[in-house]
A = this chain, B = another copy of it.
Amino acid sequence: MAEKINKNYKYKPLKALQKEEIVQGIVSCDTAILSRAITLLESVKKEDKAIIYDAIKSIPNPKKPSFKIGITGSPGVGKSTFIETFGKYLGEKNYKVAVLAIDPSSSLTGGSILGDKTRMEQLSNLPNVYIRPTPSKGELGGVANQSYETILLCEKAGFDIILVETVGVGQSETHVKALVDFFLLLILPGAGDELQGIKRGIMELADGLLITKADGENITKAKMAKSNYQNAMHLFPGGKNNWIPKILTCSSLENKGIGDTWDMINAFKEHTLNNGWLAANRQQQRHFWFKEKLDDLIKSDFYEKNNIKDQIKQLKNQIDCGDLDPFNAAMQVFNYYES
């Protein structure tokens, strides 16, 4: 029986968190502290970030890394329902499960992401499941980077499995792929038109395709979709992990295909543990975020220091008129501030 997580929901006055409080809270998997720590990560205040970054340094590494599953699909595909069903399945197997959402752009797509928490009621009542809903607003670009830190916090809190929901638009494929071990794409049964809502390129990231809502009248359509995708997948370039993406059907309504999905993910885990990809990929991901973060710090320092938004806008206009080419425009901004 897995250790329970510490759902300490009783009211406490929200004094600013201190470093030691965070460290102890994360080590004991106190989800109230975890939530507030994540809020600090999302804060735009430099003091907040300094505290949480400092705390993270002092939190010991978990005994074993979490297994991170990215879940995406177009709005309406049934992501929330699937996550609720799948999360419950994992929770009942006594895994400690964290459910996170990353989506800098949900407002653009109209799709809510972990938004309707009423649907998650059963899941959130499980003692070993933690749900972190969408940050209420995210600065584009910023959120993607904080996602990595958020996941790391959950990892240090000792979760076995982290489900990372993403809408699959807005973020770059590279960024999303750099967050998770396994990437699951949910697809509606049908002629493929439903895919219009997701970003091109997402399909080729998927380690598994799951055709949802395979129940009632949809069953025939779902089976056909499965066979179509099966035929299509072998036309695709394989990933470096040497894993051929699997295609399954499921019904969250009838609770079908959920165990199969977990079996597939376990098969992937075993496969990539054995061929060394899982460890190598996690190392690459850490290096990627190191570089990404450093680049971000350097760039935002330049942009903030110089407050050049207006100038950039004006130069874009000049580029649009054909008066200036993009790289001379870039040199102009750069030289102006550096010289």
Contact residues of A with B, CB < 8 Å? 53, 56-57, 61, 145, 148-149, 152, 172-174, 191-192, 195-205, 228-229, 231-232, 234-239, 283, 286-287, 289-291, 293-299, 301-302, 312, 315-316, 319-320, 322, 324-331, 333-334, 338
- The interface residues of chain A, by DSSP majority, are classed as helix
Q: Would A334 and B56 count as touching, CB distance under 8 A?
A: no
Q: Do A326 and B293 form a contact, CB below 8 Å, given A200-B205, A205-B201, A320-B283?
A: yes
Q: Would A293 and B327 count as touching, CB distance under 8 A?
A: yes
Q: Do A236 and B200 form a contact, CB below 8 Å, given A297-B331, A298-B299, A328-B53?
A: yes
Nearest-CB distance from A231 to chain B (Å)?
Answer: 6
Question: Can you list 21 A-B pairs, Cβ within 8 angstroms, ordered by A?
Answer: A145-B327, A148-B326, A149-B325, A149-B327, A192-B234, A192-B235, A195-B236, A195-B237, A195-B238, A198-B237, A200-B236, A200-B238, A203-B237, A232-B235, A293-B330, A294-B329, A294-B330, A298-B299, A298-B302, A299-B299, A301-B338
Task: Please tell me how many copies of the chain the complex holds.
Answer: 2
Q: Which residues of B contact A202 (CB under 8 A)?
A: 237
Q: Which residues of B contact A203 (CB under 8 A)?
A: 204, 235-237
Nearest-CB distance from A104 to chain B (Å)?
Answer: 17
Give complex CA distance A162, B2 in Å: 62
Give complex CA distance A91, B79 in Å: 52
Q: Which residues of B contact A173 (CB under 8 A)?
A: 173, 201
Q: Would A299 and B295 count as touching, CB distance under 8 A?
A: yes
Give complex CA distance A205, B173 in Å: 13
